[in-house]
Amino acid sequence: MASKIAYQGEPGANSNIACKQMFPDMESVPCASFEDAFELVSSGEAQLAMIPIENSIAGRVADIHILLPQSKLQIVGEYFLPIHFDLLGIPGSTIEGATEVHSHIHALGQCRKLIRDHGLKPVIAGDTAGSAREVAEWNDPRKLSLAPPLAAQIYGLEVLASRVEDDPSNTTRFVVLAREKELPARVQLPGPTVTSFVFRVRNVPSALYKALGGFATNGVNMTRLESYMVGNEFAATMFMADVEGHPEDQPLKLALEELDFFTTEVRILGVYPAAGYRAAATA
Query: Hey, which residues are catalytic here?
Result: 172, 174
Q: What is the DSSP letter of 248?
A: T
Amino acid at 185: A
For residues 38 and 49, is the Cβ–Cβ distance under 8 A?
A: yes
For residues 132 and 12, is the Cβ–Cβ distance under 8 A?
A: yes
Of the candidates 87, 89, 4, which has an alpha carbon nearest to the alpha carbon of residue 48? 4
d(CA 271, CA 266): 14
Task: Report helix, strand or coil for 98.
Answer: coil
Of the candidates 4, 1, 2, which has an alpha carbon nearest to the alpha carbon of residue 179? 4
CA 23 to chain centre: 16
For residues 173 and 52, is the Cβ–Cβ distance under 8 A?
A: yes
d(CA 275, CA 193): 9
Q: What is the DSSP letter of 164?
A: -
